């Protein structure tokens, strides 16, 4: 049973992140927590998420948006460090519920704007502009929430959705950001003793399933239409938010 759940988690983590840009930790960590202790769930998802990030960066190499990327990553690093410190001292149960509610509301809003009851006017002049301060704010929030609740992907999805990027730039920017943030978490959790030899012995075989899921997700992302892509993102935001609310 344990091997089956770990294997499916690895496969879906690669598929979700590389196919739709959804931070799989927010969706899969609560499910695993229903069956395993945090001592296994947290380090396992840390390894899996970092691998999916690396695959995503490879698949979308140099397709990320560079205008605000340095500010986004710098603020995200600071937020991640702060989140790790808070994780040691503060309970995250209620925090995850609030974050889940925000994600659910935003996902439902996107679905509403695509319905026949609402017609959204799009700017034909290109990508929407976001002030530098807003980029720093969103990056910091993604770092803190990613460290505390494995839900940084949800925050960054909300930020990127406002910029109207095409799907490849969207995924590429998300991947490079999360790769840096999850790398910091990996180092920190190793230093804290959460990632030991026994954990690696139990999960090493799932790595190939992450690659398989990432390959399938990347293929789907290359062929799915922009409208369907945005629809999938909004639905998965709702699912991720709901999962966070009820854990």
pLDDT digits (tens, 9 = 90+) for 73-100: 999 999 999 988 887 777 766 767 776 7
Cα(133)–Cα(146) distance, integer angstroms: 20
Assess whether pLDDT exceeds 60 at residue 221.
yes
Q: Which two tokens stand for residue 38?
A: 């945090």
1-34: per-residue pLDDT in tens? 778 888 998 998 888 877 776 667 777 877 777 6
User: 119-122 — which CB contacts under 8 Å span 24+ positions?
Assistant: 122/164
- Inter-CA distances, 178 with 24, 109, 117, 150, 174, Å: 11, 24, 35, 11, 6
Residue 17 and residue 39: Cα distance in Å, rounded?
23
Report the pLDDT averaged over residues 205-215. Answer: 89
Q: Please state, in angstroms and rounded to a whole number, the distance separating the CA atoms of residues 168 and 61.
A: 10
Q: Which pair of tokens denotes residue 35?
A: 């069956």
Which of 16-20, 142-146, 220-224 is predicted most confidently? 142-146
């Amino acid at each position: 049973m344990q091997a089956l759940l770990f294997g499916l988690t690895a496969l879906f983590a690669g598929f979700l992140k590389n196919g739709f840009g959804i931070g799989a930790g927010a969706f899969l960590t609560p499910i695993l927590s229903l069956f395993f202790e945090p001592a296994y769930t947290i380090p396992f998802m840390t390894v899996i998420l970092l691998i999916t990030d690396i695959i995503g960066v490879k698949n979308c190499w140099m397709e990320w948006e560079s205008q605000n990327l340095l500010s986004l990553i710098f603020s995200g690093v600071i937020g991640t460090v702060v989140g790790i410190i808070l994780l040691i001292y503060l309970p995250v149960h209620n925090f995850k519920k609030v974050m889940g509610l925000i994600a659910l509301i935003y996902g439902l809003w996107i679905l509403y704007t695509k319905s026949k009851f609402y017609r959204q006017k799009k700017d034909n002049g290109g990508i929407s502009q976001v002030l530098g301060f807003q980029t720093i704010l969103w990056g910091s929030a993604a770092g803190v929430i990613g460290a505390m609740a494995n839900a940084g992907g949800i925050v960054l999805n909300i930020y990127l959705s406002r910029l109207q990027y095409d799907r490849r730039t969207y995924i590429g920017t998300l991947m490079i950001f999360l790769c840096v943030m999850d790398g910091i978490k990996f180092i920190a959790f190793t230093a804290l003793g959460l990632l030991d030899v026994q954990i690696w012995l139990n999960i090493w075989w799932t790595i190939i399933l992450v690659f398989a899921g990432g390959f399938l997700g990347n293929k789907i992302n290359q062929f799915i239409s922009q409208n369907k892509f945005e629809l999938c993102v909004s639905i998965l935001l709702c699912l991720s938010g709901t999962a966070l609310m009820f854990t």
